Amino acid sequence: MYSVIAYQAAYANSVSQIFHEAIHAIDDECYSAENKAAWSAKPRSSYHWHKRLLHSKSWIVVDRNQIVEGKPKCCGFINLETTYHSRGYIDSLYVHPEHQGKGLARKLYEVLELWAREQGYSELSVDASLLSKGVFLSYGFKQHHRSYQEKLGQVIMGFLMSKPL
């Protein structure tokens, strides 16, 4: 049984692994091996992910039927920037490859959107990847233009998208 819960520090290492494994599971036709290696050469430290998620509003989805190290297994995560300049920006949405296609991204997104509405946010935005563009379109986002991020000499293409609330 999957549940969405607030991010907890005990899951920082799981989040790091999910990020890395989800990126490297993307088909090479979407992003080259070189793109993926630049995007995530290796899992980042738990410290990095804990700090990143602690400074935003973050949730994880866990499988309560799978216990790992005494806690439900983390299967995915999402986080939302809450500072004035980037308020409402979805920084990350990743689901472990073994759990993709089960509606977990939607579960995470619905919790985020509900929270944003309750806080009075007027809009959500995201730089969606080639893979997640369709997911965000299905959530009602509109594409504005292509976006490009340079990482370790690789240009990774995405799409700037937004949704009024």
The pLDDT value recorded for residue 5 is: 98
The Cα–Cα gap between 94 and 159 comes to 16
CA neighbours closer than 13 Å in the CB half-sphere of residue 63:
17
In CATH, what is the architecture of 2-121? 3-Layer(aba) Sandwich (3.40)
List pLDDT tens digits, range 64-118: 999 998 999 999 999 999 987 789 999 999 999 999 999 999 999 999 999 999 9
List pLDDT tens digits, range 12-69: 999 999 999 999 999 988 899 999 998 998 999 999 999 999 999 999 999 999 999 8
* Token pair in block for residue 16: 């790091």
pTM: 0.94
61, 2 Cβ separation under 8 angstroms: yes
Q: What is the residue whose two structure tokens read 């793109």?
A: 35
Q: Look at residue 6 and tell me whether its pLDDT is greater than 90.
A: yes
